Structure 1
C-alpha cells in the first residue's frame, strides 16, 4: 500500500484503472474533479467567508435609521436574499453533477456491453477471456459514477442544510423594531 505513495506507481495504477474502464471513465473523472473543486470552494466559503457576508448584511441593516417603513422591509428582504444567494452559489451546479455522474456510469455500462457483444459477434463464441475487457469497461464506470455521485450527495445535502440555517439566522438577526 505504501508503494502507491510513489508518484510513478500511483500514475501507472491510475492509467491501468482508466484503461480498464474505457473512455467514459475518463469523462467521469473530469466531471468528478470539477464537482469536487466546487465542493472544496463551498467548504472554504462555509469555513470562513460566510461570517463576513452575514456581518456585512448586519452592518448594512444597523446603519439604517428607518426599520419600520415598507422600504426598510424591502431593504431587509434584499439583504437576506443576497446573503442566501451567496450561501447557495454553485449548489445547483453540484446537484446537477451529482445527477449526471450515475448517468455517465450507465453510459459506460452500455458501451462496455456493446464491446462484449462485438467480441461475441466477431469470434462466434462466448470466450470469457475475450469478453473480460468489455465486462470491466461495463462495470468499472458504473461503480465510479455511483461513488462520485454518493460523495457529492453527502456534501450537497449538508450545504442545503447550512443555507437553510443561515437564512433563518440572518432573518432573526435583522430585527424589525
Structure 2
C-alpha cells in the first residue's frame, strides 16, 4: 500500500512539474487509448468466428439472419445488413449488396481519424508547454539574472517534461493507429471479395 501511494504521489509531482499543459495531455491520452482499445476489440471481433462463404450465401437464399451467438465476424455482419435492406428483386439486390459492402467497409475506419487527431495534438501541446516553460525561465532571468539556478531549473524542467509527455502520448498513439488502419484495410479487402462472391449468387 505504501508503494502504491508513493507511485501516485510521484505521478502527481510529475504532472505538477510539467505545468498547465499536463492535464490536457493526460485527458487526451486517456481518451485516445479508450478509442484505440474499443476499435481494436471491434476489428478483432470482425476477424474471428467468421462463417464460411457458402453458409452466408445459403442464409441469403433462405432469407435467414445469421446466429450472432455462433458467428460474430464481418461475414455475418454483411449478411445481416443485406437482409435488412434487400427488396427481393435480383437486379436491385445486387446494388443493395454493393451498398451494404460499402457501408460495412466504411465502418472499419470509424474513430481512426479521431485517434489520429488526438495523437497529433499531443506533441503540439507539448510544444506549447515548452514555450510556456521557456517564458517562465526568461521571466526568472529578467528578475534575478542567471544567479538563481533553482528558479531557472523550474521553467526548464516544465519545458522538457511537457515536450517529453507530448511525444510519449503521440508516438504510441500514431503507431497503434497505423496498426489498426492496416487491420481495417485487410478486412475491407475480405468484405469486398465476399460482396463479389455473394453478388454472383443472387
Could you tell me the TM-score, scaled by structure 2's length? 0.77
Mapped contact 2:137–2:152 kept (Cα < 8 A): yes
Q: Which of 118, 122, 130 in structure 2 is aligned with 1:101?
A: 122
Question: What is the aligned partner in structure 1 of residue 63 from structure 2?
Answer: none
For structure 1, the residue ranges without an aligned partner over 5 or more in a row are none
Computing the radius of gyration from Cα coordinates, the structure with the larger value is 2
Kindly report the root-mean-square deviation, in angstroms, between the aligned alpha carbons of the 2 structures. Answer: 2.2
Mapped contact 1:31–1:97 kept (Cα < 8 A): yes
SS at match of 2:146: coil
Question: What is the aligned partner in structure 2 of residue 46 from structure 1?
Answer: 43
Q: CA deviation at 1:19?
A: 1.3
For structure 2, the residue ranges without an aligned partner over 5 or more in a row are 49-71
- The correspondence of residues 114-129 of structure 1 with structure 2, limited to 5 A, is 114-129=135-150
Query: Does 2:20 correspond to 1:23?
Result: yes
Q: Which moved more, 1:74-83 or 1:149-158?
A: 74-83
Question: What is the aligned partner in structure 1 of residue 184 from structure 2?
Answer: 163
Q: Which has the higher helix share?
A: 1
Call closer, same or farther: CA 1:73–1:23 in 2, change over 3 Å.
same
Question: What is the aligned partner in structure 1 of residue 68 from structure 2?
Answer: none
CA distances 1:77-112 after superposition (whole Å, capped 9, x unpaired): 221122122211111100101110010000000000
Mapped contact 1:53–1:83 kept (Cα < 8 A): no
CA distances 1:119-149 after superposition (whole Å, capped 9, x unpaired): 0111133532220010010011111111110
Distance 1:66 1:171 in 2: 21
Mapped contact 1:111–1:138 kept (Cα < 8 A): yes
Call closer, same or farther: CA 1:75–1:50 in 2, change over 3 Å.
farther
* Matched pairs, number: 172
